[in-house]
Amino acid sequence: MLDIKFVRENPDVVRQNIKNKFQDAKLPLVDEVLRLDKENREIKQELQALQADRNRISKEIGKLMAQGKKEEAEETKKKVAEFAKRMEELAAKEKEVEVDLKKNMMIIPNIIDPSVPIGRDDSENVEIERFGEPVVPDFDIPYHTEIMEKFDGIDMDAAGRVAGNGFYYLMGDIARLHSSIISYARDFMIGRGFTYCVPPFMIRSNVVTGVMSFAEMDAMMYKIEGEDLYLIGTSEHSMIGKFIDTINPEEKLPYTLTSYSPCFRKEKGAHGIEERGVYRIHQFEKQEMIVVCKPEESPMWYDKLWQNTVDFFRTLDIPVRTLECCSGDLADLKVKSLDVEAWSPRQKKYFEVGSCSNLGDAQARRLGIRVKTKDGKKYFAHTLNNTVVAPPRMLIAFLENNLQADGSVKIPAALQPYMGGQTVIEVKQDK
């Protein structure tokens, strides 16, 4: 959510930003916000004037009574009552206007960073850099669920009977591999100085609307019936929510946290053949990283966060690339975002495995996350988040890039301690 003062003083900048995001339908919101803001300030001014007049006249009542001027005192009391009635009307109107103003302000997208490329959708994202050499082996690579089945590692049929489409059972070595990757990611981030955290897996509606747009909320979140609780779609929502309505000493910043959680998503819409299996699912696990910092430090942390993910994947022998998200591909609260994509030898292309985002002070403004300097000044923090790893999707990249000609999968050295020293996953003999 933008600062209303910024919108008031820079309406053309806000309009151009909306155009840059190809959301022209939101342009009328700017004029509506300006109108509501003006009305809100006029109401406040009238309330202040009435309050001052009421206080002044109220003092006169005592003087008139002391002078024996009862009739004049009674007439003055009527004026005070009229002031009170008008003030009550204005207070009710003020609340109504402020609700409408906030509702519209929360729909207007955040101002994107000047470095963000202008583009309509993800097809216009810009490749930045590649890490590792993409390799296509001289043997065929099966679809990822077929690889898993060779190890008796997945059962989607049983999951379908139990929970429906978009769920899975991971079994045996594949289940262990999944857990090992999460554990390794935890220790990898602790080694980079982040504090490990396991957050609540449900959050209240005020946290949901504080960390994401209404459109994202509708498309992603599962609501707990009869309660003001939502299952988290990604752990940074709960992690950023940890700081709701807090005033944080500036000297304690930055807060750097890495979290484990299951995640739950509706995943609305139809998906293509390459998004079968465990690519798009309703339930998955994730290791995340978030930063709460001073505004001037957020660009530096943004670069550190995506580099962490790149480094993590490279320790597992997975080639990756980074893509700068264009304006039309940015969620409304984001200032800047970069996707990390892993190489798929089977598809002979890269696919998304993580996303790094700088949200400026948008989430902090919505959630009331403030910073206090030593001299008592307060300002809104900047928040950032990034995926360390999100299996089982990451398993697709892992299995394809570590698959060997005989069908076995090698275990990179970094992961071997988490697999009990195992160096390879062998195909089940009856397969």
The DSSP output letter for 392 is: T
pLDDT at res. 413: 97
Q: Is the pLDDT of residue 272 over 60?
A: no
pLDDT at 430 over 80: no
Q: How confident is the model at residue 273 (pLDDT cuts 50, 70, 90)?
A: very low
pLDDT given for residue 83 in this prediction: 78
- Could you give the maximum distance between any two Cα atoms of the chain, in Å? 109
280 is catalytic: yes
What local confidence, expressed as pLDDT, does residue 351 receive? 94
CA torsion 21-23-24-29 (nearest 10°) is -110
Residue 355 appears among annotated catalytic residues = yes
CA 101-226-244 angle, to 5 degrees, is 45
Note the pLDDT of residue 268.
56
- Show the CA angle centred on residue 312, arms to residues 351 and 149, nearest 5°: 55
**pTM, entire model:** 0.90
Helix (H, G, I), strand (E, B) or coil at 50: helix
**What is the average pLDDT across 165-193?**
96
- Is 90 exceeded by the pLDDT of residue 188? yes
> Within a 10 A sphere around the Cβ of 224, how many other Cβ atoms?
10
DSSP state for residue 138 in the 8-state scheme: S
pLDDT of residue 280: 80
265 is catalytic: yes
- With a pLDDT cut of 70, the percent of the chain lying above it is 97
Q: Is 176 among the catalytic positions?
A: no
Domain with CATH 1.10.287.40 in the chain: 4-105
**Which amino acid is it at 44?**
K
Q: Which of 317, 252, 331 is nearest to 291 (CA)?
A: 252
Active-site residue, from 15, 355, 365, 400 = 355
pLDDT value at 275 more than 60:
no
Report pLDDT digits (tens) over 60-111. Answer: 776 777 777 777 777 777 877 887 888 899 999 999 999 999 999 999 999 9
d(CA 170, CA 161): 15
For this structure, is 54 an active site residue?
A: no
State how far the alpha carbon of 167 is from the alpha carbons of 180, 183, 390, in Å: 20, 22, 15
- The yes-or-no verdict on residue 431 having pLDDT over 80 is no
Q: Is the separation of the CB atoms in 230 and 214 below 8 Å?
A: no
Cα–Cα distances (Å) from 154 to 53, 158, 170, 351, in that order, read 75, 9, 5, 22
Portions of the chain given CATH number 3.30.930.10: 122-425
Candidates 3.40.50.11270, 3.90.1150.10, 3.30.930.10, 3.40.50.10860; CATH matching 122-425: 3.30.930.10
Catalytic member of 15, 54, 265, 366: 265
pLDDT score of 166 = 87
Tokens representing residue 382 in the block:
């900047």
3-state secondary structure at position 320: strand
Partners of residue 155 on adjacent β-strands: 169
Of the candidates 35, 86, 176, 280, the residue annotated as catalytic is 280
User: Rounded distance, CA 1 to CA 106, Å?
Assistant: 5
Go through the chain and tell me how many residues it has: 431
Q: How confident is residue 50, by pLDDT bands cut at 50, 70 and 90?
A: confident
Set 94, 124, 297, 352: catalytic member: 352
Give 58-70 pLDDT, tens digit per residue. 777 767 777 777 7
Q: Which of 186, 346, 365, 393 is catalytic?
A: 393
Integer Rg of the chain from CA: 28
Select the CATH number that applies to the domain covering 4-105 from these four: 1.20.58.100, 1.10.287.40, 3.90.105.10, 3.30.300.30. Answer: 1.10.287.40
